[in-house]
Chain A
Amino acid sequence: MSHSISDAKPAAAGAPAATRLASRRLPRWSPLAIAVGAIVVGVAIGAGFGLKSHLQWGLIALILFVGGSYAITAQVEGRRQAKDRVATSLIWASFILAVIPLYSLVQTTISKGVKVLDGTFLTHSMNNVLTIEPGGGVYHAIIGTLEQVAIATVIAAPIGILTAVYLVEYGRGTLAKWVTFFVDVMTGVPSIVAGLFILSLWFVALGKAPASGFAGSLALAILMLPVVVRSTEEMLKLVPNELREASLALGVPKWRTITKVVIPTALGGITTGVMLAIARIAGESAPIALLVFGSNMINTNPFSGPQSSLPYYIYQQYGNGNDPSYARAWGAALVLIAFVMILNLVARGIARWKAPKR
């Protein structure tokens, strides 16, 4: 560090007399000028050599820009400043590079999804609809998703919240350490493995693996559990200790303190965490493919028979491999994204609204 900083000194010392304390700087408009120059030259080279892909033109311009600004800055301001310029342009480039596909994903889904999205699409199933023809809808899939997610939430939310309470309020010693570690590890269990687990559980317990929405819900609950634990834990930790102490000092039993003081204080955050977890599992399709199988008909009973679900519906429609099915897949993708995004936005809204005021 000391070495690289000391580089600057000779430059400053080399300046005649003490009239100028600052070293030479490029004018503020120079990056823009270099960029324009790079684009012009890039286009000229691209057009001159007859390169077809405009992406290549852009790449040439980018390389020219980075190289040009390094060379010019190194001449005027010195190597350190030049490196800084290059780092800045690389970081901007990485940002732009990432924005392109993510923007394209959202834009494609919306523009293609809107075409099929209408009242019929939302209120009809795929029963008796030929896959090669337009028509049909996602009603059965929406029902399936809502039911499966609801059951998973009913299972995972209480267990998750209780586990978090254990970790924050009671957990001392080995057991708590193990639970903390495995909550973290569980976050990384691939969804397909959760599906395979329920499948083998079914095989061992029943000797067969009947399709049902409930089986899918169990797998989803496994995926949801660690997310709920983690977020609830964070929220409970934010509750000030003074509140607990005040309550205990008044002679309130510990469990009443937790249920009447600690949890209500953190309720906004806990709700947010649960909703974010719901948003995560609502998009899971791999366990559904193994356990619920998917169906074209409306099946409102999650405990028997195959059901559909929005993500699995998208997969099925994609698998059909024709344009009307692709259109339906995009429509369902838009519905699913909208659902997940609304959950996210509402959850974050609650978090902001209920956040402890400081």
Chain B
Amino acid sequence: MTTVETPPTAPPRKAATVTRPGDRIFSGLSRGAGILLLVVMAAIAVFLTVRAVSAISKDHGNFLTTFEWTPSLNPPVFGIAVLAYGTVVSSIIAMLIAVPISLGIALFITHYAPRRLGGIIAYVIDLLAAVPSIVYGLWGALFLVPHLKGLNLWLDDYLSWTVIFHKSDPNSAARSLLTVGILLAIMILPIITNVSREVINQVPKMHQEAALALGATRWEVIRLSVLPFARSGVISASMLGLGRALGETMAVATVLSASPVLSAHILDPVGGTFSQNIVAKFGEADEFGRDALIASGLVLFVITLLVNGAARLIIARRKEYSGANA
């Protein structure tokens, strides 16, 4: 921000001796736009914090460990324990499913499918990334939930002993964290696939041809020359997907039957996530209740900020030494 104002133009020679007013206005405008963007980010943090602090200071429960969300009670009691747990668990399930499959599809497009078919698939998956989340939510609630009932019962039958896959009431609908995780996985598949595919496409052809020339099979080419090169790109793609899964609102709100219960049984229709809780409780909330929701939104904001920032740092570090992006 303290850069020298007078010669903002790129040519370092004495071209900038005449500074025209138009130049100054335009460079000021564009710099202003950049600064505005930073101001908006700062404002998001500041405004959310201001409202959140006023809410948390009146919270009679522990904000971090309380299960219930009842800011309208007197005294108000609310906490994010269930929400944080639900958000993390559903996102982890989503990542466990989506990352290997996305990587598989990306490799399928770049290395296995016939070239023309691969192009078409890549295009279609690009388009699918644009399907609005509420449509996934609608499909998840009306189609996926009934169809996952069988899977739920099967898991309960055979894997009940793992505690995780124990279903307390076998007849309850599959509106559980597991279903949410599966739906989120389907939602973030296109993004992770797209970014991974772009990274894999950048793997130098020479490395792969060298491996082939040494007699490597196709899988060995991928394992020895493609994956090591693409690893950090795939990691950051996954973290972008994770950021999206963490913040996803509507698809969770339609599928999950929420309740303030923190349960290790991911088949039980209980739990909640940050954004689902905000949408669900917003309608009935008074002004204080909204501040409480803003407080939980601030936590979500910080979490996604950290995840995305980390993803970007990995990409940035990668750029410095790869040389393929130049």
Q: Which A residues are within 8 Å of any B CB, using their own CB?
A: 1, 4-5, 8, 53, 55-56, 80-81, 83-84, 86-88, 90-95, 97-98, 101-102, 104-106, 108-109, 158-160, 162-163, 165-167, 169-176, 178-179, 181-194, 196-197, 199-201, 203-204, 209, 222, 225-226, 229, 248, 253-256, 258-259, 276, 279-280, 282-286, 289-290, 311-312, 314-315, 318, 326, 329-330, 333, 336-337, 340-341, 344-345
Contacts and interface: CB of A to CB of B under 8 A. Distances in A.
Given A193-B301, A196-B48, A185 B41 contact: yes
A344 B143 contact: no
A256 B27 CA distance: 11
B105 A98 contact: yes
Given A186-B37, A188-B308, A315-B254, A175 B219 contact: no
A289 B250 CA distance: 10
Contacts of B247: 188-193
Nearest to B221: A84
A190 B100 contact: no
Contact of A255 (B27, B137, B240, B297): B27
A189 B214 CA distance: 46
Nearest to B1: A175
Interface stretch (B61-69, B123-131, B160-168, B263-271): B123-131
B29 A162 contact: yes
B6 interface: no
Interface residues of B, number: 105
13 contacts: A80-B217, A81-B217, A87-B219, A165-B30, A175-B3, A179-B34, A182-B41, A191-B247, A199-B290, A279-B130, A283-B130, A285-B250, A341-B127
B34 A88 contact: no
B323 interface: no
Contacts of A285: 132-134, 249-250
Nearest to A226: B37
Given A193-B247, A286-B249, A5 B216 contact: yes
Interface of B: 1-3, 8-11, 15, 20, 22-23, 25-27, 29-38, 40-41, 43-44, 47-48, 50-51, 100-105, 107-108, 112-113, 121, 125, 127-128, 130-139, 141-144, 150, 154, 186, 189-190, 193, 214-220, 222, 224, 240, 243-244, 246-250, 253-254, 274-275, 278-279, 282, 287, 290-291, 293-294, 297, 300-301, 304-305, 307-309, 311-312
Nearest to B216: A5
| Interface hub of B43, B131, B300 (most chain A Cβ within 10 A) | B131
A326 B142 contact: yes
Contact of B37 (A158, A173, A229, A255): A229
Nearest to B22: A255
Contacts of A191: 247, 249
| Interface hub of B11, B107, B138 (most chain A Cβ within 10 A) | B138
B47 A201 contact: yes
Contacts of A88: 112, 218-219
A188 B244 contact: yes
B40 A222 contact: yes
Contacts of A174: 1-3
Contacts of A226: 37
Given A185-B41, A193-B44, A159 B33 contact: yes
Contacts of B31: 166, 170, 175
| Interface hub of B32, B36, B312 (most chain A Cβ within 10 A) | B312
Contacts of A222: 40, 44
Contacts of A193: 44, 48, 247, 297, 300-301, 304
Contacts of B305: 185, 188-189
A257 to B, nearest CB: 10
A190 B34 contact: no
| Interface hub of A192, A256, A336 (most chain B Cβ within 10 A) | A192
Given A97-B101, A222-B40, A200 B143 contact: no
A104 B33 contact: no
A183 B125 CA distance: 24
Nearest to A7: B215
A18 B198 CA distance: 44
B189 A197 contact: no
A248 B247 CA distance: 46
B177 to A, nearest CB: 18
Given A188-B305, A204-B51, A289-B282, 6 more contacts: A81-B217, A102-B128, A106-B128, A191-B247, A333-B138, A341-B130
Contacts of A340: 130-132
Nearest to A196: B297
A172 B34 contact: no
Given A258-B26, A283-B131, A184 B300 contact: no
